[in-house]
Structure 1
Amino acid sequence: MGKLEETEPTVEVEHHKLEMKRSISLFHVISILCSVTGHVSVFVAPAAILSYTGSIALSLILWVFGGIMNLFLALCFTELGTMFPKSGGAYAYILQVFGPLPGFLTAWGYLTLISGPHWAFCAYSASLYAMKPFYLDCKPPDAAIRLLAIWILVTFVAINCSYVKFVTKAQSVLTVTKLLALLLIIVCGLISFVKDGAENLSDPWEGTESRPFVIAMSLFFSVFTYGGWQIVTNLMEEVKNPGRDLPKAVYISMFIITAEFTLTNVAYYIVIDKYDVLQSTTVAMLFFERFYPPLMPVISALVAITAIGVLNCSILGHSRVLFAASRNEQAPVMFSMINTKFLTPWPAIFLLTLWSIVMLVSGALFTMMELVSLFSIILSFSVVVTQLYLRWKQPHAERPYKTFLFIPISQFALIIVVFFLCIYQEPLKLGRGLAILAAGLPAYWFGVLWRKKPKVYHRFMRWVRMITASRLGQDCHCF
């Protein structure tokens, strides 16, 4: 495949092959990061972190610490992303540096433990908040939530399959919705503090957890609460100037999100007692129920739209990992097909949609969060190791952005400690996720190493590719 110049805004066709279009600007990168970083966790996850920290003060410290930790990790990803501005993000870096098996396991884990659970979580959250105003005194029926979530998922998959430029423009509007929702909660919390004080904060350290293994689980969830920013590294092949735009966007967006998330949690605790926070899965709704009930439909709509915005970004970014794996012959070739009119990887998006629907039908909300958090930790560790290896083996390689060395070293040590403490604390839950990741080994043998597959297999795959192309209007091109 021919190379595309970084500054070229149009699609290059070289040797009769297509390149993804560089249509994502600095503003769009910031918009995507602000929307997807932390997704809707601040409206859902406070109870999870508080349940492990035990006190308001420690939970707030963890929200700040989680933001800083994710900033450092994002800078590690940024260095590699600007060195290897290719679709696939961490998968592309690990494949190029450590070879086929580590690369395949990265893609396998990303697609099974992040994409499906994350899309399902976002669609479920959007559905839950959209229905909540109609069930103020109780939780909406779970079956109804999941059916609406499937409809939301399929609708935004269809939109993503149309045109990347439209998606990124729509994302700018969706990002504003998230920032408005957070700002509304912060302002209302300030009003409540001025009017009634903050009795709930009179003893912020009450109930503080002292066991390191339990606190480690709160760190584990902090990865999830600020996660999602990794998506933008999957889009480097479509960013106009990745060496300039990505570092700026990371600093700006992480500062905005960390500040707003921390202040939003302070506002929660001003209005809501911590024991009520622990019992709620829709904390933002409970906040306005206590502060000013007529605003409940407003915040419900804003959070639902925010979750849709995160889902929109996730569809845009996650599908590029499967696309990149297929292009490197580590997934069936049909998933490297893109629609020549809209320049989007339709088959890759469709497969992940099916997996997400399976997760929606079968998975629980916090199980989804644990699966995403588990592989986020593993993925972050792999990227940090890749970065440190390249610093050692290729110290003079061209790096459009180079972060301070203490950042990957500190993340290397912290991730190891948190990971093993979490495994010790929750071996069964996290063991299931590790088992899913280990299932990638036989998949690698069958799909990649076994070259002499039966002729019937090859005939079947050719038939599937032909059917795929015909169903998509014969306007798909395969890399």
Structure 2
Amino acid sequence: MRKKKTTDPSHPPADLSEGKEKLRLKQEVGLMSGMSLIAGTMIGSGIFMSPEWVLYHMGSPASSLLVWAACGVLATFGALSYAELGTIIKESGGEYIYILRIFGPFPAFLCAYTSVILVRPAGLAAMCLSFAEYAVAPFYPGCSAPQVAVKCTAAACILILAVINCLNVRLATSVMNIFTAAKLLVLLVIVVAGLVLLAKGQTQSFQNAFQNTTTSIGAVGVAFYQGLWSYDGWNNLNYVTEELKKPEVTLPRAVMIAIPLVTCLYLLVNVSYLAAMTPSEMLSSGAVAVTWGDKVLGNWTWLITLSVALSTFGSSNGSFFSGGRVAYIAAREGHMPDILSMAHVRGLTPSPGLLFTAAMSIIMIISGTFTTIVNSVSFITSLFYGTTISGLLYLKIKKPELPRSYKVPIIIPIIVLITAVYLVLAPIIDQPQTEIFYIILFIVSGIILYFPLIRFKCHPRFLQRVTLHLQLLLEVAPVARDAN
């Protein structure tokens, strides 16, 4: 790892950016691709798997719909807050780079360490496992697919995504655009069919709709975890700020178009599910979208299975696209091994960071369940979302003179911060879970590693030779910085 100059949070430069790149990633992400990255990543396996879990934890159809709506509002508020940060700190890296520039290297390292090794690979693994479940299902009619087949398919999915994203940015964004259009078409089919069912009088699920609503703060928190998982990806554009065309315009516009669109679709899709099924049928369904297809489409149910597989693949591509950038940016700042900070000499893609994310994701698919991964990832992301939003509030109050082309009303980040604190504390207080304990231990291990590796720069010498060999093998070069 290299020694990097960090910014003193009490004396930030004019735009909180440390310097200009001699070698830049290509700026090929425009408004349409930005919207596709947000919507394409958000619309994945969640809307096809989470509705039954939100209903389970909330206890009633009406309260579950309120959670879906609230999650959409929170995602929009969070994205608008991040849009302002993106116009102040015009660097890729999302939460990591914002925490680094505002609070310094120690909390930023914990964010990078947790995101690069655990959060991003685990989230990608969960999406690819969902893809695999639906992709192999037609080959095993009437029975569950063997786990070996599912996991091998998930690993193959990750490898395909790695190839696509390592070749060039334009290919990756083209895949996002195509799959986003396809999944939006599928959701529109579900919405229209649901409206037809409602017009025919199938409204039994909406009678006494608030009956059995839970009052447990822990259950509500877990319901939000499941709902917010379906909105995960609302912040993905901030991970690729340096690759945006006119980021000060593209970032807020893409957010304000994509997230409200996805929120409306999610609400209407949930209404369609409830129109076709009773709450008890939804709760007993292993795959709510497939059960909906059996009831509404009959022999054409295979279209839903295919659509879910395609949707999840597209979402995995968006998550992979942004996730590799986190490793790249963290390494560029000296918080990860040097090799991850390099870009391919011809494709100008952060291929080492992408390959590392792929390798960690393949390891993740070996164990873990969908709900365990979702709850674990949601706990950590809520923690770092809260830290990032508190940084925005600090800049708005203490550094109002910093140039920014977009400003969000201060009440919006305050609401997001309060919600993030609630989502971190509520499940711990009301329903403590084993995986949260392991996550805390993992974060503590990052604290232990920080001092010898980052603070005191105790690096084994053989890493330099390993880095050189990998550099030659992968055909990558460092992204150099000019001094301020």
TM-score by length of 1: 0.92
Distance in 2 (CA, whole Å) between partners of 1:449 and 1:212 is 40
The 3-state SS of whatever aligns with 1:229 is: coil
**In structure 2, what is the equivalent of residue 417 of structure 1?**
422
Q: 2:455 aligns with which of 449, 454, 457?
A: 449
Q: Structure 1's 434 and 223: CA in aligned 2 closer, same or farther, altered over 3 A?
A: farther
Distance in 2 (CA, whole Å) between partners of 1:157 and 1:29 is 20
Distance in 2 (CA, whole Å) between partners of 1:371 and 1:334 is 28
**In structure 2, what is the equivalent of residue 429 of structure 1?**
435
Distance in 2 (CA, whole Å) between partners of 1:157 and 1:245 is 26
CA contact (8 A) 1:113 1:371 kept: no
Alignment size in residue pairs: 461
Distance in 1 (CA, whole Å) between partners of 2:426 and 2:201 is 41
The superposition leaves residues 236-274 of structure 1 with CA deviations (integer Å, 9 ceiling, x where unpaired) of 000011110111111111111000001000100111121
The superposition leaves residues 375-400 of structure 1 with CA deviations (integer Å, 9 ceiling, x where unpaired) of 22012101111001111220121111
CA contact (8 A) 2:168 2:349 kept: yes
**In structure 1, what is the equivalent of residue 7 of structure 2?**
none
Q: How does 1:332-371 map to 2 (within 5 A)?
A: 332-371=337-376
The 3-state SS of whatever aligns with 1:18 is: coil
The superposition leaves residues 142-174 of structure 1 with CA deviations (integer Å, 9 ceiling, x where unpaired) of 221111111111111111100101111221111
> How much does 1:131 deviate?
2.0
Instruction: Please tell me whether residue 216 in structure 1 is matched to residue 221 in structure 2.
Output: yes
Distance in 2 (CA, whole Å) between partners of 1:274 and 1:320 is 41
**In structure 2, what is the equivalent of residue 464 of structure 1?**
466
Letter in 1 for 2:400: P
Instruction: Point out the more displaced range, 188-197 or 309-318.
Output: 188-197
Distance in 1 (CA, whole Å) between partners of 2:431 and 2:146 is 29
The 3-state SS of whatever aligns with 1:338 is: strand
Instruction: Please tell me whether residue 94 in structure 1 is matched to residue 96 in structure 2.
Output: no
**In structure 1, what is the equivalent of residue 317 of structure 2?**
312
> How much does 1:39 deviate?
2.9
CA contact (8 A) 1:117 1:371 kept: no
The 3-state SS of whatever aligns with 2:91 is: coil
Q: How does 1:106-255 map to 2 (within 5 A)?
A: 106-195=111-200, 197-255=202-260
CA contact (8 A) 2:25 2:243 kept: yes
> How much does 1:306 deviate?
1.0
The superposition leaves residues 90-121 of structure 1 with CA deviations (integer Å, 9 ceiling, x where unpaired) of 11111011111011111112123321111101
TM-score by length of 2: 0.92
The superposition leaves residues 36-69 of structure 1 with CA deviations (integer Å, 9 ceiling, x where unpaired) of 1253201011122111100111001100011001
Distance in 1 (CA, whole Å) between partners of 2:76 and 2:439 is 25
CA contact (8 A) 2:202 2:276 kept: no
CA contact (8 A) 2:218 2:429 kept: yes
Instruction: Point out the more displaced range, 235-244 or 364-373.
Output: 364-373
Letter in 1 for 2:224: L
Distance in 1 (CA, whole Å) between partners of 2:314 and 2:105 is 33
**In structure 2, what is the equivalent of residue 85 of structure 1?**
90
CA contact (8 A) 1:223 1:376 kept: no
Letter in 2 for 1:295: W
**In structure 2, what is the equivalent of residue 380 of structure 1?**
385
> How much does 1:223 deviate?
2.3
Instruction: Point out the more displaced range, 401-410 or 280-289.
Output: 280-289
Instruction: Point out the more displaced range, 47-56 or 208-217.
Output: 208-217
CA contact (8 A) 1:216 1:418 kept: yes
Distance in 1 (CA, whole Å) between partners of 2:412 and 2:476 is 46
Distance in 1 (CA, whole Å) between partners of 2:117 and 2:234 is 18
Distance in 2 (CA, whole Å) between partners of 1:452 and 1:154 is 33
Distance in 1 (CA, whole Å) between partners of 2:344 and 2:44 is 28
The 3-state SS of whatever aligns with 2:343 is: strand
Distance in 1 (CA, whole Å) between partners of 2:478 and 2:98 is 25
Distance in 2 (CA, whole Å) between partners of 1:397 and 1:120 is 39
Distance in 1 (CA, whole Å) between partners of 2:435 and 2:326 is 26
Q: How does 1:280-299 map to 2 (within 5 A)?
A: 280-299=285-304
The 3-state SS of whatever aligns with 1:280 is: coil
> How much does 1:217 deviate?
2.0
Distance in 2 (CA, whole Å) between partners of 1:136 and 1:56 is 31
Q: How does 1:46-61 map to 2 (within 5 A)?
A: 46-61=51-66
Distance in 2 (CA, whole Å) between partners of 1:19 and 1:85 is 13
> How much does 1:185 deviate?
0.9
Distance in 1 (CA, whole Å) between partners of 2:278 and 2:148 is 30
Letter in 1 for 2:215: S
Letter in 2 for 1:467: H
- Structure 1 segments, 4+ long, off by >6 Å, are none
Give the root-mean-square deviation of aligned CA atoms.
Answer: 1.7
Contiguous gaps of at least 5 residues in structure 1:
2-13
Letter in 2 for 1:253: A
**In structure 2, what is the equivalent of residue 6 of structure 1?**
none
**In structure 1, what is the equivalent of residue 9 of structure 2?**
none
Letter in 2 for 1:443: L
The superposition leaves residues 341-387 of structure 1 with CA deviations (integer Å, 9 ceiling, x where unpaired) of 11111111111111111110112111111122112201210111100
Contiguous gaps of at least 5 residues in structure 2:
5-19
Q: Structure 1's 397 and 478: CA in aligned 2 closer, same or farther, altered over 3 A?
A: closer
Letter in 2 for 1:382: T
Instruction: Point out the more displaced range, 432-441 or 240-249.
Output: 432-441
Letter in 2 for 1:318: G
